[in-house]
Amino acid sequence: MLIWFYLNSFFTLLIGNMFAYAMIIYSRAVTGSDAVTGLVYAGNLVPPLVLGMYAGTVIDRFTRKRVVMIAQTTFIYTSAAMVFLTTQQSFVVGDLMLIAVMLANGIGLSFIIPGRMALLGDLFDQEHIPRESMKVQIMIMVGFGLAPFVVGFLRKYFDWYIVFATIGVMYAFAMLLLLPLKTRPKQLRGDKESAWHSLRAGLRYVRREPLILSLLAATFVGLFLVGPLQVLLPEFSKSRLGLGEAERGSLMTILGVGLLAGGGLAQALSHKMPRGLMIIAGALAAGLSMLMIPWLAAPVPVAISLGLSGIFGGLMSTLIPAAIQQATVDAARGRVMSIYNIVFQTSVASAAVGLSALAKQTSPAYAFEVGGWLIIAGAAACLLLKPLRKLR
């Protein structure tokens, strides 16, 4: 009955990206500020940074399926909150309200993202987990690319409260898909060990694994591009390219198609080429393609550059977590994937907040250039990581 896991993963990944994209567009429309929009988006990323290690401990100590289902109810509550805020007429929707909604949403993400990856250990044998991890990563890319198109389509014909109500209803349906899923009997994962000792054991495990540390460094560098693409691209395509909401959604969909192609490429090449060098080359190429975006002034060249960014970003975001899963024992899987999630979210949040603030002082185009150069410099630094270079 693994179909229920795949269906839940696909729909929740799509809907989660729909909510994040809708919040970005709505907050930009309400506040008119790139900096505030960056803070709203970062609100979704802060809770995983604070709760990430505790979430990993919970995932490893309790039934993973149950933890994921409980956490997935968060999107229903936050969607309902946005339906209320977009329909009420008693007060003006302020910055802090939007940030608070995203913070609540981020609490759920703290458990959902690593929980879904750790749940693979309850469904598959160790040798099959990297392959299944790649499938989940490809679903993430499909959701990332398809979400802006769906939100743009809904927003073109309906008010904001319909958009958020649709997201909430879809998420409730997706959560129920996990009910029939059968997992393996729960193995003893240190239930009698205190949460603090469990957390420390997870950190010690990661410190003893040079390959995992190198892959986490590559995660921070390679996935830095996600923040500016989600936060800056909508306004850049509106002000610089003159695109409407539906057209902006289509532009993001091209990015998603590139991500999907990159994920497929990673799956095809993972056993034929050195994965470590592919990750480093992917980061370098992603930085170069991101650097090209502000130099292009027409939708078609920008779309091509976005497609290239997606391909190389998809390559990295598929290979890295699969390699981490392969190098991790099941008893520590939740904590290790939580650390991966913390590094990923830190990279995205720092890029979103930092480059949004830079865009406010200068321009989105200049912020894109700075982001591209930072990724290129980070990719060059990854060449110094011997475990990553030797990863086959």
DSSP-assigned letter for residue 181: -
Output the pLDDT for position 120.
84
Amino acid letter, residue 263: G
Q: Rounded to an integer, what distance in angstroms lies between the CA atom of residue 128 and that of residue 207?
A: 25
166-173 long-range contacts (CB < 8 A, ≥24 apart) are: 167/15, 167/18, 167/19, 167/22, 167/75, 167/79, 168/75, 168/76, 168/79, 168/80, 168/83, 170/11, 170/15, 170/18, 171/11, 171/12, 171/15, 171/72, 171/75, 171/76, 171/79, 172/76, 173/11
CATH code: domain 2-179+190-389 is 1.20.1250.20
Q: List all residues 6 or more positions away from 128 whose beta carbon is below 8 Å from its beta carbon.
A: none
Output the pLDDT for position 77.
92
Class of residue 363 by CB neighbours under 10 A (exposed 0-12, middle 13-18, buried 19+): middle
Q: Rounded to an integer, what distance in angstroms lies between the CA atom of residue 307 and that of residue 305?
A: 5
Q: Rounded to an integer, what distance in angstroms lies between the CA atom of residue 19 and that of residue 41?
A: 11
Mean pLDDT by 10 residues, the chain (392 residues): 84 88 86 78 81 81 87 90 87 82 90 85 81 79 79 88 93 89 66 62 80 89 78 75 71 77 80 84 85 78 82 84 82 80 81 81 84 89 85 80
Output the pLDDT for position 49.
78
Report which of 254, 248, 250 is spatially closest to residue 231, judged by C-alpha positions.
248
Structure tokens at 82: 């946005």
Beta strands in 55-154 (DSSP E): none
Output the pLDDT for position 191.
52
Output the pLDDT for position 312.
84
Give this prediction's pTM: 0.75
Output the pLDDT for position 195.
58
